[in-house]
Amino acid sequence: MKLFRKIRQTLIKEGNIKKYLLYAIGEILLVMIGISLAFQLDSWNENIIKKNTEIRYYENIRDQIDDDKRLILEQMDYNNRYMAQYKYANEIIESNNRKLLDTLGPIIRNLTQYSDFDRQGNIYETMVNSGEIKIMRNFAIVNKIRALEEKYIYINRMENIHYDAMLTYVIPAITPTIKFSTTQIKRPELIFNYEFQNLVLALLQVMTEKDEVYKEALEQIKVITALIAEELESN
Domain positions in the chain: 61-234
3-state secondary structure of 184: strand
pLDDT of residue 4: 47
Nearest Cα residue to 92 out of 187, 192, 190, 189: 192
Cα 126 from Cα 203, distance rounded (Å):
34
Residue 36's pLDDT band, with cuts at 50, 70 and 90, is: low
pLDDT of residue 234: 83
Mean pLDDT of 95-113: 95
Q: Provide the whole-model pTM.
A: 0.78
Q: Which residues pair with 184 in a beta bridge?
A: 179
3-state secondary structure of 118: coil
18, pLDDT greater than 60: no
* Tens digit of each residue's pLDDT (9 = 90 or more) over 136-195: 788 899 899 999 999 999 999 999 999 999 999 999 999 999 999 999 999 999 999 999
3-state secondary structure of 116: coil
